[in-house]
Amino acid sequence: MKIAILSNGPGNYSTKRLKQVALERGHEVDIIKYRDCYASIEKSQPMVWYDGQPLVGYDAIIPRIASSMTKYGSMIVRQFEMQGVYTITSSLAIVRSRDKLRSMQLLARAGVGIPKTVVSRGGVDSDDLIGHLGGAPIIIKLARGTHGNGVVLAESRKAAKSVLQAFHVMDSDGTNILLQEFVKESAGMDIRVFIVGGKVIASMKRQSLDDDFRSNLHQGGEGEKIKLTDEERKTALKAAKSMGLSLCGVDLMRSDRGPLVLEVNSSPGFGIEKVTGRDVATAIIDYIEINAKRSQKKDKIGA
């Protein structure tokens, strides 16, 4: 097969691992910096270009879209979809997963446990909103934040009110701020479940090293291999399915009322390989080998 990895970081561990495994399997692999690609949109001729050359002949793409480039990256993925190229992650699923509000709505509908969440444009009595969450402390987070950078713990009702006011000033369309119940039983700890094709490939616990309530590795957290309970495994798989992601990292917290999903990452990092010793790159290439062929077959029948 000819496989394209859409990645702006050819030196990234995940990109290198995918390339290595694909080459070992005898595939042809190109790493494409999608930020330098462009699309030409014309009747019956969807095309992606790089450096003056049309990108043609690919059997499959593996999008590794950075969250800072969601819109542009997903547009390029969509353009490959327009050509009928198989992608392990659809452009729609990427966009969905990058919006925590949209994700929470989809997860909740599918019956996946999530922290109690409230959204408002502002202008509503904040006591009312905070009341829905059982009072302070509460979490206030940006719908499009990453690496723990857009998440605030407001310890008191007073603090929550002023943080909310400040956030709402910056939230022109009213959909970028989530208020969440603070899951205190799990403060500073969460679980990353790496899923490929409806199977859990690896899972790790992330713990903040200081007294930060955020466990993101980018905030100095540390990972450790963990065994999931049955309920956690089922919850993570259901979350992946409801987001339409065959490759993803589901983040969940252990709470007194069972696992609660925080987010589903459509470009999960491969650092989990080092923590758990599991080979996620091979699981991904395996999955693509089976499913890209299947989709080609399907296309031929449908033609």
Residues near ligand ADP, by CB under 6 A: 115, 139, 141, 145-151, 180-183, 187, 190, 213-216, 251, 262-263
Q: How many residues comprise the chain? A: 303
Closest contact distance (angstroms) between CB of 14 and ligand ADP is 17
CB of 57 to ligand ADP, least distance (A): 36
Q: Based on CB atoms, which residue is closest to ligand ADP, 115 or 282?
A: 115
- Supply the minimum distance, in Å, between the C-beta of residue 58 and ligand ADP: 30
User: Measured in whole angstroms, how far is the alpha carbon of residue 267 from the centre of its chain?
Assistant: 5
Q: Give the residue with the Cβ less far from ligand ADP, 197 or 223.
A: 223
Q: Which is nearer to ligand ADP, 77 or 151 (CB)?
A: 151
Chain CA centroid to CA 176, Å: 17
Q: At closest approach, how far in Å is the CB of 214 from ligand ADP?
A: 4
Extract the runs of DSSP E, i.e. beta strands, from 167-292: 177-181, 189-196, 199-208, 221-225, 247-255, 258-265
Amino acid code (one letter) for 35: R
Cβ-based nearer residue to ligand ADP, 79 or 146: 146
Q: Whole-number minimum distance, CB 131 to ligand ADP, in Å?
A: 16
46: helix, coil or strand? Answer: coil
Residue 175 or 295: the one with the smaller Cβ distance to ligand ADP is 175
Task: With CA atoms as reference, report the closest residue to 77 among 43, 32, 44, 45.
Answer: 32
Closest CA to 192 of 288, 117, 273: 273
* Beta carbon nearer to ligand ADP, 63 or 137: 137
What minimum distance in Å lies between the beta carbon of 282 and ligand ADP?
27
- Biggest alpha carbon distance in the chain? 62
Alpha helices (H) along 63-201: 70-82, 91-97, 100-109, 126-132, 157-169
